[in-house]
Amino acid sequence: MIERLLGGTGRGLLEAAEQAGQFAMLTRSTHGWLARSRVEWRQALIQMGRIGVGSLPVSSMTAFFTGMVLALQTGATSKHFFNTPLFVGTVVSFALIMELGPVMTAIVVAGRAGAAIAAELGTMKVTEQVDALYTLGTDPVRYLVIPRLLAFLAVLPLLTVASDFAGVLGGYFVARVKYGIPSTVFWHDIVDNMMVRHFVHGFLKTFVFAWTVAMVCCFKGLRTRGGAEGVGRATTEAVVASMTLVLVLDYFATALLNALGIT
Amino acid sequence: MIEARGVVKRFGPRAVLRGIDLRIESGETLVIIGGSGCGKSTFLKCVIGLHSPTEGSVVVDGADVAKLKTEAEVADYRRRFGYLFQEGALFDSLTVAENISFGLRYLTDVPPAKHRRIASDCLALVGLKDVEDFKPAELSGGMKKRVALARAIAAQPSYILYDEPTTGLDPIMSDVINDLILDLQRQLKVTAIVVTHDMKSAYKVGTRIAMFHDGVVQDHGTPDHFKTTKNPYVRQFVDGLSKGPIQMRIKEFEGVEA
């Protein structure tokens, strides 16, 4: 029993160490190609279209309803304590622009585009298309990983800005319709309290999330083994790992940005 | 000329190749036969550089594959090879013409304006026409194999490696592919290695046959040698017998519980 437990733990640790090493090698190779400016721009543009256009409706809609819920809760809570809905615009905009916008957009895009990347690369791996790239004179990292990484880095910040905007609109809608807060009060709440550095705080995080989701999903896709079942497993692992990492890294990114005074 | 010198390939503790010594002279077609998992495809991947041998070396025209260092050396090496994958490995997102011209873009200096014409020429060589704008999903199994073959020859390689070219095809289409391999040998004067389970194909296209078993070369010689040899491993494989020195690991059927 103890022997089996120790054996299982050991195997798990070895597997984790192996994956960490392979991920480090993929990261090194990716940035090596980037440093040499060997970019497949056509592929990158195609990926930007797929990730950006496809994700915009779902990320905006999610943010819109999140903004509505935030306004609803803020209004109800402040009404309970102060008998009137207060600071609805401030709470909605701060929560969305600094935290929820970047995090939720990254999670939605990981679930949609990240899963698609892991499944596509995984299928290419098990059908030997990745090997075929080598035999036809190109490196899979250059042809597959870099365009997707650049697409994520370009598109996720833009999607986040769109989500921030949609979320604030959602909040405004509830503030107006449910609580009858005048437009000027709602927008003044935001403009008077929100500084450029608050927006920068959220915006910078999106690059960390974009890098993480793209690299993790490409990594999981490229190490797929075992046919259709393996592709399914790789896709699930890619989505779970990238969503978890987004939430974990959000804490560390926030702590770092706070330490740097960008808060 | 391709020369394998004591090639050993291990994946973790498992040795797939355990010391392969083979020499493939220019212009000849070596057919490698053997049971599933005996290391045939792994050997092909060692030749083209997709796998590095754990021990030993693969030397092609005097160059050791494992010692290619610069990007230019690797590109020059790959330019000499065409590789037909078992399932074709065509890129799903590209059209037939884009698949065929893919290697031209990365392996050669052929101007892009000529790529489509070369793709059409290669398709004609494998007996296909007017499929340039199709996606791989729109093709039958035999057509996919032929498009993959057209892609393998597009950059005019000196060597073609075929990984089970007739697997999954009906007998007529298998023979069409065999004829294509022979035609390409005659027209392009290439050196080829063909990995197959199909003895009819092996006898038809091979100038020499090597049988792998358990990661080593069990026997090699001309097709006539393989038809007459008394080597029990070869006889069992060629005659397709379940009983013999090659033991298949099949769990005994123990019945089904009600």
- Domains in chain B, start-ordered, CATH in brackets? 1-80+157-258 (3.40.50.300), 92-156 (no CATH)
pLDDT the model gives residue B258: 46
Neighbours of A49 (CB within 10 A): 12
Of the residues B73, B85, B105, the best mutation for testing chain A's interface (the one with the most A CB atoms within 10 Å of its CB) is: B85
> What is the rounded distance in angstroms from the CA atom of residue A213 to the CA atom of residue A248?
13
Contact A216, A114 (CB under 8 A): yes
Per-residue pLDDT band for A173 (boundaries 50, 70, 90) equals very high
DSSP B179-245: HHHHHHHHHH--EEEEE-S-HHHHHHH-SEEEEEETTEEEEEE-HHHHHH---HHHHHHHHT-SSSS
Contact A132 B83 (CB under 8 A): yes
Per-residue pLDDT band for B12 (boundaries 50, 70, 90) equals confident
Per-residue pLDDT band for B255 (boundaries 50, 70, 90) equals low
Contact B50 A135 (CB under 8 A): yes
pLDDT the model gives residue A39: 86
Q: How large a percentage of chain B has pLDDT more than 70?
A: 96
pLDDT the model gives residue B256: 54
Single-letter amino acid code for the residue at A237: E
Q: Sheet harboring B159-163: ordered strands across?
A: B81-84, B159-163, B191-195, B29-33, B208-213, B216-221
Per-residue pLDDT at A234 exceeds 80: yes
Q: What are phi and psi of A110, to 5 degrees?
A: -65, -45
> Lowest-pLDDT range, B23-32, B108-117, B169-178, B249-258?
B249-258
Taking only the tens place, the pLDDT of each residue in B42-90 is 999 999 999 999 999 999 998 898 888 888 888 889 899 999 999 899 9
E-strand ranges in B85-190 read: 159-163
Taking only the tens place, the pLDDT of each residue in A107-124 is 999 999 999 999 999 999
Per-residue pLDDT band for A7 (boundaries 50, 70, 90) equals confident
Q: How large a percentage of chain A has pLDDT more than 70?
A: 100
Per-residue pLDDT band for B250 (boundaries 50, 70, 90) equals low
pLDDT the model gives residue B125: 87
The Cα of B119 is separated from the nearest Cα of chain A by a number of Å equal to: 15
Residues 6+ apart with CB under 8 A from A33: A39, A139, A141, A142, A146
- Identify the three-state secondary structure at position B22: strand
pLDDT the model gives residue A162: 97
Contact B89 A128 (CB under 8 A): yes
Contact B91 A137 (CB under 8 A): no
Q: Which of A157, B153, B154, A39 is nearest to B165 (CA)?
A: B153
Of the residues B78, B100, B110, the best mutation for testing chain A's interface (the one with the most A CB atoms within 10 Å of its CB) is: B78
Residues 6+ apart with CB under 8 A from B132: B95, B96, B97, B116, B119, B120, B123
Taking only the tens place, the pLDDT of each residue in B152-206 is 999 999 999 999 998 888 888 889 889 989 988 888 889 999 999 899 999 999 9
- So where are chain A's domains? 1-38, 41-259
Query: Chain B: which residues have CB within 8 Å of chain A?
Result: 45, 48-50, 75, 78-79, 81, 83, 85-87, 89-92, 102-103, 106-107, 151
Taking only the tens place, the pLDDT of each residue in B15-55 is 999 999 999 999 999 999 998 889 999 999 999 999 999 99
The Cα of B26 is separated from the nearest Cα of chain A by a number of Å equal to: 20
